[in-house]
């Protein structure tokens, strides 16, 4: 059974590692090569992108290697095990917290478009980034200082947080504040945006630019809602098994079946591979930037001279945001109630 588990676990981890590395490198390159995407809150996206990339370069390959070699004398007290456990917990926490604050940024941009630039300045964004990483460093360092602990898990093939009754206080705090709180924040904000999108779809609105106004069909809101619901479901599917197994082992004092432990760990690491692809494929401006970058790369490889192409309005969030939030109110149907800014934003940049 252990041999079959290791044989299955290794290719799954390799697949997740390749997807994580390729996806996060692609997202970083797109952010660096497209100035239209370099906003004041860019650091939040870069933060979870770097965390997921580091997981794909360090923890995921180590899990695949251990599942094939099965080291019998893996010392949990050794410096290597303690260091890899620290890195694993640090990157886990920073990834989910950075993703949560990036979602808060998107929520503010959509629902408070008129005051967005006053609320999210460059200085505040950097201060928030520093606080996030300070919290993550303090959390990951606590087991090294005696509050909690790291140990090698034979079922997970990794050095990770030691889910034992002696560490139940630290595990409970980390699971609630370090993991559950940001995940619930992401799902709640997406849920509210979907609720607003449903109201706007039933109401119907107009959206204007510098040239003309046009009606925003209901299926645009519904399509954006499907994207947000899918993102939330994916996040829950990746994290809930890991949280459940960890809490069960900590408070019951019993080990979970090896297959369940291994599967839950693979799922939580797979979230690092899914995050960049969800960002690139589901957000209009990122998808347009990826296609534009691929177009430029093909032209460079083929030796064809670059031809200037008109920039999509999706790549200019500031301009589109300013136009939509000011003109939508003026051109709203007379029967519509007070204008709500999510209208144009959901259509313009689905999260």
pLDDT of residue 72: 65
pLDDT of residue 114: 80
pLDDT of residue 82: 92
pLDDT of residue 304: 62
- Residue 322, pLDDT > 60, answer no
For residues 6 and 12, what is the distance between their CA atoms, to the nearest angstrom?
10
Rg over CA atoms, the chain: 22
pLDDT of residue 185: 93
CB 96 within 8 A of CB 183: yes
Residue range 321-334: average pLDDT?
Answer: 36
Which tens digit of pLDDT belongs to each residue from 87-138? Answer: 999 999 999 999 899 889 888 887 887 888 888 888 888 999 999 999 999 9
DSSP track, 73-96: T--TTSHHHHHHHHHHHHHHHHHH
Its pTM stands at 0.77
Q: Which residues pair with 215 in a beta bridge?
A: 206
Q: What is the dihedral sign for C-alpha 30, 103, 347, 206?
A: negative
DSSP state of 147: S
pLDDT of residue 69: 82
Report the candidate in 189, 252, 200 with the shortest Cα–Cα distance to residue 222: 200
For residues 327 and 132, what is the distance between their CA atoms, to the nearest angstrom?
37
- Residue 141, pLDDT > 90, answer yes
Which of the two residues, 349 and 101, has the higher pLDDT score?
101
Contacts of 102 (CB under 8 A, 6+ apart): 41, 44, 45, 47, 48
Which of the two residues, 344 and 87, has the higher pLDDT score?
87
pLDDT of residue 112: 83
Which tens digit of pLDDT belongs to each residue from 22-79? Answer: 888 888 888 887 777 777 778 888 898 899 999 999 999 999 888 888 776 677 788 8
Share of the chain above pLDDT 70, in %: 72
Q: Which CATH class is domain 2-348?
A: mainly alpha
**Domain layout of the chain by residue ranges:** 2-348
Separation of CA 128 from chain center: 16
Q: How many CB atoms lie within 10 A of CB 37?
A: 20
H-helix or E-strand spanning residue 128:
helix 122-141
Which tens digit of pLDDT belongs to each residue from 185-231? Answer: 999 988 888 887 777 666 666 556 666 665 555 566 666 667 777 77
DSSP state of 167: G
């Amino acid at each position: 059974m252990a041999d079959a588990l290791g044989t299955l676990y290794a290719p799954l981890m390799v697949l997740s590692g390749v997807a994580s590395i390729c996806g996060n490198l692609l997202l970083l390159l797109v952010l660096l090569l497209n100035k239209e995407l370099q906003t004041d809150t860019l650091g939040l996206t870069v933060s979870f992108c770097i965390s997921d990339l580091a997981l794909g370069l360090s923890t995921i390959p180590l899990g695949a290697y251990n599942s094939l070699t099965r080291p019998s004398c893996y010392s949990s007290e050794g410096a290597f095990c303690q260091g890899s456990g620290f890195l694993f917990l640090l990157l886990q926490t920073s990834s989910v917290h950075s993703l949560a604050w990036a979602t808060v940024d998107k929520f503010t941009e959509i629902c408070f478009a008129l005051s967005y630039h006053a609320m999210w300045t460059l200085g505040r964004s950097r201060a928030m980034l520093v606080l996030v990483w300070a919290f993550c460093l303090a959390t990951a360092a606590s087991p090294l200082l005696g509050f909690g602990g790291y140990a090698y898990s034979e079922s997970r093939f990794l050095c990770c947080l030691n889910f034992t009754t002696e560490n139940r206080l630290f595990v409970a705090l980390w699971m609630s504040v370090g993991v559950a709180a940001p995940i619930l924040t992401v799902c709640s904000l997406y849920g509210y945006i979907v609720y607003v999108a449903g109201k706007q779809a039933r109401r119907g609105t107009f959206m204007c630019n510098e040239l003309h106004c046009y009606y925003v069909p209901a299926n645009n809101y519904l399509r954006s809602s499907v994207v947000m619901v899918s993102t939330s479901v994916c996040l829950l599917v990746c994290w809930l098994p890991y949280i459940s197994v960890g809490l069960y082992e900590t408070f019951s004092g019993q080990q979970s079946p090896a297959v369940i432990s291994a599967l839950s760990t693979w799922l939580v690491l797979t979230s690092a591979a899914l995050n960049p692809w969800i960002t690139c494929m589901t957000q209009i401006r990122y998808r347009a930037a990826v296609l534009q970058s691929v177009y430029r790369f093909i032209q460079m490889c083929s030796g064809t001279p670059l031809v200037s192409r008109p920039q999509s309005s999706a790549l200019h969030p500031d301009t589109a945001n300013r136009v939509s939030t000011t003109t939508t109110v003026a051109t709203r149907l007379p029967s519509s109630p007070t204008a709500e800014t999510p209208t144009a934003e959901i259509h313009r940049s689905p999260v």
